[in-house]
Amino acid sequence: MTGKEVEIMSSGSIHLRLEARSSFPAKEYRIKRGSVEVRTFDCESDHMRIWSRLTPEQLSTHVKHHTVVARWLERRLGWRRLLRACVGLEPEIPSDSRAEASEVVKQEQAWV
């Protein structure tokens, strides 16, 4: 996508949707169980593709080019977790319950 994207995101959202002003399909990103996933869909036909997991190389490309996606991921994950994900070292992260969130903190402390 070009610099003409529109970002739709609430502060508590774990989804990011980018829509191009041209005829390019929209892309939606999400963080699910510690993985970053993307799907594309055509806004005119409401045809959506299935979610696919971004590879460390794809994440690295976003970070390298300082895209909207990279900035969103840095805010959601923190720069350390994002860096680990870019080099393929980020372990699976449990879903967002309080008990599981404390386990994530323990895992991150073990990495430091």
pLDDT per residue as tens digits for the range 82-94: 999 999 886 555 4
User: What CA–CA distance (Å, rounded) separates 99 from 56?
Assistant: 28
**For the chain, how big is the Rg over CA atoms in Å?**
15
8-state DSSP, 24: S
Residue 57 CA, distance from chain mean position = 13
pLDDT above 70: residue 52: yes
Q: State the amino acid at position 84 in one-letter form.
A: R
- Spell out the domain ranges in the chain: 6-111
Task: List strand residue ranges (DSSP E) for the chain, in order.
Answer: 6-8, 15-19, 26-32, 35-42, 47-48, 52-53
Write out pLDDT tens, residues 57-73.
999 999 999 999 999 99
Q: What is the mean pLDDT of the chain?
A: 75
Structural contact between residues 86 and 56, judged by C-beta atoms closer than 8 angstroms: yes
Per-residue pLDDT tens digits for 99-110: 444 444 454 445
β pairing state of 6-8 and 52-53 = unpaired
Average pLDDT over residues 7-19: 64
